[in-house]
Amino acid sequence: MKADGTGRKIHSLIDKVYHRANLELAWKLVKQNGGSGGIDNVRIADFERVAAEELARLHQQLKQDVYRPIPVRRVNIPKRNKPTETRPLGIPAIRDRVCQQALKNRLEPIFELTFSDCSFGYRPGRSTHQAMRKIYREIMNGCEWVVDADLRDFFGNVQHERLIDMISERISDGRILRLIRQMLEAGYMENGVKFQTVSGTPQGGIVSPLFSNIYLTPFDRAMENKGYRLIRFADDWVVLCKSREEAVKVFADAKVALEALGLTLHPEKTRITHISADLNFSAIS
DNA sequence: CTACGTAACAC
RNA sequence: CUUGUGUUACGUAG
The whole-number Å distance from A251's CA to C8's C1' is 33
As a whole-number percent, the residues of chain A with pLDDT over 90 amount to 51
What's the gap between Cα A170 and its chain centre? 18
Q: Is the pLDDT of residue A169 over 70?
A: yes
The whole-number Å distance from A282's CA to B6's C1' is 24
Shortest-distance nucleotide from A122 CA to C1'? C6
pLDDT at A43: 62
A28 or A53, higher pLDDT: A53
Q: Is the pLDDT of residue A21 over 50?
A: yes
- pTM for this model (two decimals): 0.88
Name the residue with the least CA to C1' distance from nucleotide B3.
A20
The listed range with the strongest mean pLDDT (A23-27, A51-55, A65-69) is A65-69
Shortest-distance nucleotide from A280 CA to C1'? B10
pLDDT at A9: 72
